[in-house]
């Protein structure tokens, strides 16, 4: 049906039309006409065909052929996002933001696909219609032709980058691989590294060296006092320290202080490295973990806890009364 162009509404926040693409389309339409109508909902809100609509405006049309879809609300927005993504040409930040919004909408329309639902009790007791519902990653991959891992990566980039870093990435056409590495940095470091990358001061994010920060003493970092002291030997010259290292008769046995200091350092390192697995880049895989895999992981974690308890028990048995 023909609809007055003045009646067609465009949702706020929609991707802007590419001026060059609009002109090329206007030139084509002026020669062969509009081959594919635009798509609107019943309220004449645009679902698909922004570039065709803008080309028609540029040609001075007052009406345009439309397909009126029964899609409304979230379903209409989902269709609009899919059209934006299928057209490509988006930078990795805009694409990630569109995918993140698509995930929100899809999981609102299909709540059974949310994290923790497909592999838990709901999954086992759900009716067949629910079991057949694709996960967000599967649905998006099938419809958009993007690998599930790539989808998760782009969503992480959109969620983790700071607004300032996003501006730098978009204005300098920084690619997805570099954007992903930037997303793993602390907010301030993201912006510094992105600015250096854009200015050509570094060739890759891997070359970025954050300013050295003074290490906080362990005693101040913990909410309780540390019951040991670092009593190391000091040497007047470098030669004396080398001679001490080479001394075959040197007593290298642990003292309570040196043992606790080493164990404390190990625990701090463990916490720093283990925190990585809560990062959204890793958490993106959580929904696809099966119950069998989770049970295995819990058993493996249990071996760590058991080893710690065994060491503490051994210390208790050996303590002097």
Q: What is the pLDDT of residue 238?
A: 61
279 assigned to some structural domain: no
21 assigned to some structural domain: yes
285 assigned to some structural domain: no
Pairing of strands 63-68, 38-40: parallel
Number of domains in the chain: 4
Q: What is the mean pLDDT of residues 11-37?
A: 84
Last residue in a domain, options 18, 38, 71: 71
- Beta bridge partner(s), residue 45: 9
Q: What is the pLDDT of residue 119?
A: 44
**Concatenated DSSP letters for 97-155?**
HHHHHHHHHHHHH-GGGSTTTTTSHHHHHS-HHHHTSPPHHHHHHHHH---HHHHHHHH
Question: What digits encode the pLDDT tens for the residues 49-83?
Answer: 888 999 999 999 999 999 888 767 778 778 878 87
Confidence of residue 319 (pLDDT cuts 50, 70, 90): confident
228 assigned to some structural domain: yes
Strands (E) located in the chain: 2-4, 38-40, 46-48, 63-68
**pLDDT reading at 247 higher than 80:** no
Q: What is the pLDDT of residue 307?
A: 92
**Checking phi first, is residue 2 left (phi over 0); if not, alpha (psi -120 to 50) or beta?**
beta
Report the alpha-carbon distance of residue 190 to residue 206 in Å, rounded. 12
Report the alpha-carbon distance of residue 91 to residue 210 in Å, rounded. 26
178 assigned to some structural domain: yes
Q: Give the mean pLDDT of the chain.
A: 81
Q: Which of 93, 138, 89, 104 is nearest to 118 (CA)?
A: 138
CA 293 to chain centre: 23
The secondary structure of residue 9, as a DSSP letter, is B
236 assigned to some structural domain: yes
Share of the chain above pLDDT 70, in %: 81
Question: What digits encode the pLDDT tens for the residues 119-167?
Answer: 443 444 555 544 567 888 888 888 888 888 888 889 988 888 999 999 9
- Beta bridge partner(s), residue 9: 45
Same domain, yes or no: 137 and 177: yes
Last residue in a domain, options 190, 207, 224: 207
**pLDDT reading at 320 higher than 80:** no
CATH of the domain at 52: 3.90.1530.30
**Residues 6 or more apart from 19 whose CB is under 8 A from it?**
none
Confidence of residue 20 (pLDDT cuts 50, 70, 90): confident
- Structural domain including 25 reads 2-71
**Concatenated DSSP letters for 170-216?**
HHTT--HHHHHHHHTS-HHHHHHHHHHHHHTS-SSGGG--PPP-PPP
Question: What digits encode the pLDDT tens for the residues 154-202?
Answer: 998 888 899 999 999 988 989 999 999 999 888 889 999 999 999 999 9
280 assigned to some structural domain: no
Same domain, yes or no: 97 and 199: yes
């Amino acid at each position: 049906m023909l609809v007055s162009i003045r009646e067609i509404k465009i949702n706020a926040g929609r991707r802007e039309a590419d001026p060059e693409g609009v002109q090329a389309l206007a030139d084509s339409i002026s020669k062969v006409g509009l081959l594919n109508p635009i798509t609107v909902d019943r309220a004449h809100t645009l679902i698909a065909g922004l570039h065709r609509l803008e080309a028609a405006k540029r040609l001075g049309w007052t009406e345009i052929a439309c397909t009126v879809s029964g899609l409304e609300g979230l379903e209409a927005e989902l269709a609009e996002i899919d059209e934006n993504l299928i057209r490509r040409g988006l930078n990795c930040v805009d694409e990630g933001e569109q995918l993140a919004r698509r995930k929100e909408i899809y999981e609102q329309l299909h709540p059974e696909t949310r994290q923790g639902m497909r592999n838990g009790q709901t999954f086992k007791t759900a009716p067949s219609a629910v079991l057949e519902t694709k996960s967000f990653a599967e649905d998006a991959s099938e419809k958009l032709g993007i690998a599930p891992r790539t989808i998760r990566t782009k969503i992480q980039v959109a969620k983790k980058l700071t607004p300032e870093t996003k501006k730098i990435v978009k204005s300098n056409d920084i690619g997805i691989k570099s954007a992903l590495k930037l997303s793993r940095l602390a907010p301030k470091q993201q912006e510094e590294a992105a600015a250096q990358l854009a200015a050509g001061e570094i060739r890759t994010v891997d070359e970025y060296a954050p300013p050295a920060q003074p290490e906080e003493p362990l005693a101040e970092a913990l909410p309780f006092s540390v019951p040991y002291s670092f009593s190391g030997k000091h040497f007047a010259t470098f030669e004396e320290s080398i001679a001490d290292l080479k001394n075959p008769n040197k007593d290298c046995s642990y003292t309570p202080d040196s043992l606790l200091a080493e164990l404390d350092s190990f625990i701090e390192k463990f916490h720093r490295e283990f925190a990585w697995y809560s990062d959204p880049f890793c958490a993106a895989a959580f929904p696809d973990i099966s119950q069998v895999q989770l049970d295995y992981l819990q058993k493996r974690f249990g071996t760590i806890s058991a080893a710690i308890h065994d060491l503490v028990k051994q210390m208790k048995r050996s303590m002097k009364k």
